[in-house]
């Protein structure tokens, strides 16, 4: 809106100068206003072009999501998150209650998801987000200190499975954890979830082979 106002102001200034005549207005002022007007018009056209491209990209992604929904495991949903395709899987589909270890049925579901990632998003970067509900850790306090810890370990478990069991390139996968702080519903079960977010391709790492690294080993 501000760009439009500036453009109109510049245009009005040009008209006023034209009405006054070039004899009473310094030529340099007229030229400066005209240049500013031309820049404003060019910027407006560029913004309109970017907006049209963004709308086209969003429509293409939505069409892609619609075509993939039938291939998801039961209990998983496909939607847009931050403008990018994301597969949402409730924790009960992947883990036992209050646990971060994948169940056999959770592994089966992830293999289906991995097939989509490999066939449709082979070059994309993948972020695995872990989320919990607001209930504090009680019965499994010996395993997980906080909900941050639980959400992190759940996300990492998915990353390890996708990269070691499903053939996903580990250079393009990483995890993040949000604990209880990004709820999507008033329903606690819906908030206990993992989001697998498909991001634009980036670099595939430094290219240095881990096998070729030298130096002292760390005790682990």
> Where residue 99 falls among pLDDT bands split at 50, 70, 90?
very high
Domain of 99: which CATH number? Answer: 3.30.1330.60
Instruction: Kindly state the tokens that stand for 119.
Output: 């066939």
Looking at residue 25, what is its pLDDT? 60
Residues 41 and 102 in one domain: no
Residue 137 in contact with residue 197, Cβ under 8 Å?
A: no
Looking at residue 47, what is its pLDDT? 85
Q: What is the mean pLDDT of residues 116-135?
A: 94
Residues 22 and 101 in one domain: no
Looking at residue 183, what is its pLDDT? 96
Looking at residue 211, what is its pLDDT? 62
> Where residue 110 falls among pLDDT bands split at 50, 70, 90?
very high
Residues 166 and 116 in one domain: yes
Residue 156 in contact with residue 204, Cβ under 8 Å?
A: no
Looking at residue 75, what is its pLDDT? 87
Residues 92 and 177 in one domain: yes
Looking at residue 203, what is its pLDDT? 63
Residues 87 and 13 in one domain: no
For residue 79, being part of any structural domain is answered with yes
For residue 66, being part of any structural domain is answered with no
Looking at residue 70, what is its pLDDT? 75
> Where residue 11 falls among pLDDT bands split at 50, 70, 90?
low
Looking at residue 74, what is its pLDDT? 87
For residue 220, being part of any structural domain is answered with no
In the 8-state DSSP scheme, what is residue 178?
-
For residue 32, being part of any structural domain is answered with yes
Average pLDDT over the chain reads 84
Residues 24 and 102 in one domain: no
Closest alpha carbon to 201 in 117, 123, 118: 123
Domain count, the chain: 2
Residues 110 and 190 in one domain: yes
* Residue 3 in this model has a pLDDT that exceeds 90: no
In the 8-state DSSP scheme, what is residue 52?
H
Residues 27 and 82 in one domain: no
Task: List the domain range (segments joined by +) for residue 33.
Answer: 2-57
Residue 128 in contact with residue 175, Cβ under 8 Å?
A: yes
Residues 95 and 159 in one domain: yes
Q: What is the mean pLDDT of residues 69-75?
A: 82
* Residue 8 in this model has a pLDDT that exceeds 60: no
For residue 77, being part of any structural domain is answered with yes
Residues 51 and 85 in one domain: no
* 3-state DSSP assignment of residue 87: strand
């Amino acid at each position: 809106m501000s760009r439009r106002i500036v453009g109109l102001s510049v245009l009005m200034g040009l008209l006023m100068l034209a009405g006054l005549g070039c004899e009473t207005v310094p030529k340099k002022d007229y030229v400066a206003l005209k240049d500013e007007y031309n820049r404003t018009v060019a910027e407006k056209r560029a913004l309109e072009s970017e907006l049209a491209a963004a709308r086209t990209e969003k429509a293409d992604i939505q069409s892609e999501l619609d075509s993939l929904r039938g291939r998801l495991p039961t209990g998983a949903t496909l939607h847009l998150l931050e403008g990018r395709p994301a597969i949402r899987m409730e924790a009960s589909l992947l883990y036992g209650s209050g646990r971060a270890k994948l169940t056999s049925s959770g592994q089966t579901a992830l293999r289906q998801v991995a097939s989509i990632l490999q066939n449709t998003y082979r070059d994309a970067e993948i972020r695995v987000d872990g989320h919990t509900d607001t209930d504090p850790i009680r019965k499994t306090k010996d395993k997980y200190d906080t909900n941050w810890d639980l959400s992190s370990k759940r996300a990492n478990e998915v990353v390890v499975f996708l990269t070691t069991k499903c053939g996903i390139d580990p250079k393009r996968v990483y995890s993040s954890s949000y604990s209880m702080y990004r709820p999507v519903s008033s329903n606690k079960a819906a908030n206990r979830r993992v989001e697998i977010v498909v991001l634009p391709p980036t670099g595939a790492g430094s290219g240095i082979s881990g096998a070729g690294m030298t130096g002292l080993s760390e005790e682990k």
